[in-house]
Each structure stands twice: as structure tokens, then as C-alpha cells.
């Protein structure tokens, strides 16, 4: 059973041992607890872990590939994955947050008058003016940094990189945020230029290295997502990204709206069903022959197997399910599917933990310790 899930697949020049990927996830955990959780997920049988939000440029915030400390941090993550027979991918991103505009909110955050949930829309309002006002020389410096970061990621041992198509890539792609009138704005082709230059910078520096691209798709009627690419614009973006050097696509709902939309609970008004974002994959599948990875409330082995069999997706990415049960894949391989702890998409301890500054947890954690 589950022959499709268990079958290997090639993403560019990297061979995955099965079709299950841990989706990029901001955990908000202390270093050792984070390493422990990543180790459990790697040991549980998934084929690859994507480490989210690895900065493409030099930064003093968090861990940077450019610093000695940050490089060692990522090397350790690589070692944790590889020792457990798991591939690992660095998701390269450039923040689109305007640091100067953020400063005025710090007192409110520190006094807890502004919650993380309240802060998000306030910061999103600054995105459009910020990216629309960047000079062309600054933009080109940023896109070039993706190439430099990819070289460092390869040196650190990462098997491949993913370009984060949300964040600044997604904001430049979006007609909602991008009001530029130069070669980076107005038309879909121009709005794709930032992402294309970022991918091209990697391909120029690393001719044979696999480059996954997180396609952030937004939709109207009803409206969800503010950054990213409209479904109707995918026929413009996908060929340009392929030509630039992308070797696979990771498809999800665009961000810059409510986190409860991109991480939807089981009672979400639009995204309550299993595989809630796979309809975006259907559109992408008709436009490319490259491998397509789907994500969105995936928990059920039978459902995932059927989507793979139908060719709707080539890989399935999960976050909450592998946090709920890191051994999801191993239990499938060993015929113990009845023992799987299924994510119920309650968002109480995962998304809830992030919003409360407690880090990503799970309702099953207490049960696991007892």
C-alpha cells in the first residue's frame, strides 16, 4: 500500500526517497528545542525538510549564512537532517518589512497593547510604499544577494534552495502592493522581474543546483492573499521563472493577510477541506512539466496517495501534521497507519503558540510526554 507515497522522486538533481516534505515553518522555539523537533521530523521518515526564512542578505536579526555563528547554525541543521537520512533545503527570502516604519510600533508591542495578530496588518500597510519606493540599484543589489546566499547554503551542505515567492518576491509580484512605474512595475511581466532576477542570480552562480520556487498564489471572489500572483497571471509568471532556472514549484496560498488563512483551521469558511490549496496546483500543473509540490491541510494517507496517483501533485508538503506526528511517514512504511496521530487543524498550540510568543507546540505534546 501507499506505493506512490513511498516512491522516490527527483527534484532537479536531488533524489528524494519518498514524496513527503516538511513545509517551511517558523517555529519560534529556543535553539535546542528547535533542533530537537527538526531531528524528530527527520528521523520520522520524511524525504526532505525545508528550513524556512533563511535570509538572502546580510542581517543582524536572527541567523545569517553570512556570519560565522549563523553559518555554523545552519551547518548543524544540515547535519541533523543528513544523519537521519533526510535531505534539507534552505528557503531563501528577503523581508519586505520596512524597519524604520516598524520602530513606531515597538512601544505598543513591548507594553502588549499591540498583539502579534494586531501587528501583522499594521506592518502589511507599510509594504506597498516600501517596495514601491526602493531604488533600482537597491533592488538589483537585493536580487543579486540570492545568488550569494545560495552559494553559502550549498557550502553549508544544503541539498537545494527554495526561493520564497512570498515576502519581497511576492510583494513585487502583487498588483496590490507594487505601484512602481519602472521596469519592475505595472505589467505582470515587469512585476515578475524581481523574482526572475533572484532565481537568475542563483542559476548564474550555481549552474547545476536545484532551485525550488514557492509560488504564492492569491485569489479573488472570495479574496484571499495580498502578495503573490493571481491565478490568472500564472501563465505569465511560470514560463519566466522556468527560463530563469527554476527546477520545481511549491504551491501555496499567498500571505500578507490573516495567518489563519494561510494556516487554516478545520472550520475555515473557504479552506476547511483536506488539500485546501491543491486547486492552485491544478492550474500550475497545466502550465509546466516541472515537479509540483502541494500543501494545505494534508493529514490523511489515503487522500495524499490518491492525489499523487492522479498526478495532481508530485510531492506533498506538510507542517502541522508532521509536528503532530513526526513519524507519519515511518508509520505508513511500517504498516502502522492506525497509530498515526492525525492533526485536527485546531490551531490551538501551533498557530496559537506563535501568536502568544510561546513557539509552535501541539495538543499532542503533553500526551507524548506522559
Closest CA to 178 of 237, 109, 229, 143: 229
Q: Say if CB 44 and CB 241 are below 8 A apart.
A: no
Q: Say if CB 218 and CB 254 are below 8 A apart.
A: yes
Closest CA to 178 of 233, 116, 107: 233
Q: What is the pLDDT along the chain (370 residues), one digit of tens a residue?
A: 999 999 999 999 999 999 999 999 999 999 999 999 999 999 999 999 999 999 999 987 889 999 999 999 999 999 999 999 999 999 999 998 877 766 666 677 667 777 666 766 667 778 989 999 999 999 999 999 999 999 999 999 999 999 999 999 999 999 999 999 999 999 999 999 999 999 999 999 999 999 999 999 999 999 999 999 999 999 999 999 999 999 999 999 998 878 899 999 999 999 999 999 999 999 999 999 999 999 999 999 999 999 999 999 999 999 999 999 999 999 999 999 999 999 999 999 999 998 888 899 999 987 544 3
Q: Which domains does the chain have, with CATH numbers?
A: 3-369 (3.20.20.70)
Distance CA(93)–CA(63), nearest Å, equals 13
* Chain CA centroid to CA 302, Å: 24
Give residue 369's pLDDT.
Answer: 44
Among 167, 191, 193, 285, the active-site one is 167
Question: By three-state DSSP, how is residue 224 classified?
Answer: strand
List residues bridging with 248 in a β-sheet. 212, 291
Give residue 255's pLDDT.
Answer: 85
* Chain CA centroid to CA 362, Å: 20
Distance CA(89)–CA(12), nearest Å, equals 13
Active site residue 167: yes
Distance CA(172)–CA(180), nearest Å, equals 9
Amino acid at each position: 500500500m501507499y506505493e506512490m507515497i513511498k516512491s522516490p522522486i527527483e527534484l532537479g538533481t536531488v533524489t528524494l526517497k519518498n514524496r513527503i516534505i516538511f513545509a517551511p515553518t517558523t517555529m519560534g522555539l529556543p535553539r535546542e528545542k528547535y533542533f530537537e523537533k527538526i531531528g524528530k521530523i527527520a528521523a520520522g521518515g520524511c524525504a526532505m525538510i525545508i528550513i524556512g526564512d533563511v535570509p538572502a542578505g546580510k542581517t543582524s536579526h536572527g541567523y545569517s549564512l553570512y556570519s560565522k555563528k549563523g553559518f555554523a547554525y545552519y551547518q548543524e541543521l544540515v547535519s541533523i537532517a543528513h544523519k537521519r537520512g533526510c535531505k534539507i533545503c534552505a528557503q531563501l527570502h528577503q523581508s519586505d518589512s520596512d524597519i524604520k516604519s516598524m520602530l513606531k510600533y515597538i512601544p505598543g508591542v513591548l507594553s502588549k497593547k499591540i498583539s502579534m495578530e494586531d501587528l501583522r496588518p499594521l506592518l502589511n500597510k507599510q509594504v506597498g510604499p516600501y517596495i514601491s519606493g526602493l531604488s533600482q540599484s537597491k533592488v538589483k543589489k537585493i536580487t543579486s544577494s540570492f545568488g550569494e546566499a545560495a552559494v553559502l547554503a550549498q557550502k553549508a551542505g544544503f541539498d537545494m534552495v527554495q526561493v520564497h515567492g512570498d515576502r519581497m518576491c511576492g510583494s513585487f509580484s502583487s498588483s496590490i502592493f507594487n505601484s512602481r512605474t519602472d521596469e519592475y512595475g505595472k505589467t505582470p511581466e515587469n512585476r515578475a522581474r524581481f523574482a526572475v532576477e533572484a532565481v537568475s542570480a542563483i542559476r548564474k552562480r550555481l549552474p547545476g543546483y536545484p532551485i525550488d520556487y514557492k509560488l504564492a498564489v492569491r485569489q479573488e471572489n472570495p479574496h484571499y492573499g495580498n502578495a503573490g500572483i493571481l491565478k490568472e497571471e500564472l501563465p505569465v509568471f511560470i514560463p519566466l521563472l522556468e527560463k530563469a532556472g527554476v527546477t520545481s514549484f511549491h504551491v501555496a496560498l499567498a500571505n500578507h493577510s490573516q495567518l489563519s488563512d494561510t494556516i487554516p483551521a478545520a472550520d475555515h469558511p473557504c479552506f476547511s477541506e483536506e488539500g485546501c490549496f491543491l486547486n492552485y496546483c491544478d492550474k500550475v500543473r497545466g502550465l509546466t512539466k516541472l515537479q509540483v509540490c502541494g500543501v494545505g491541510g494534508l493529514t490523511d494517507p489515503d487522500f495524499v496517495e490518491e492525489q499523487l496517483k492522479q498526478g495532481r501533485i508530485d510531492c506533498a508538503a506538510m507542517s502541522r501534521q508532521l509536528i503532530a506526528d513526526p513519524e507519519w511517514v515511518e508509520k505508513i512504511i511500517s504498516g502502522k497507519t492506525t497509530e498515526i496521530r492525525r492533526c485536527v487543524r485546531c490551531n490551538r498550540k501551533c498557530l496559537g503558540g506563535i501568536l502568544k510568543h510561546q513557539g509552535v507546540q501541539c495538543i499532542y505534546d503533553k500526551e507524548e510526554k506522559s
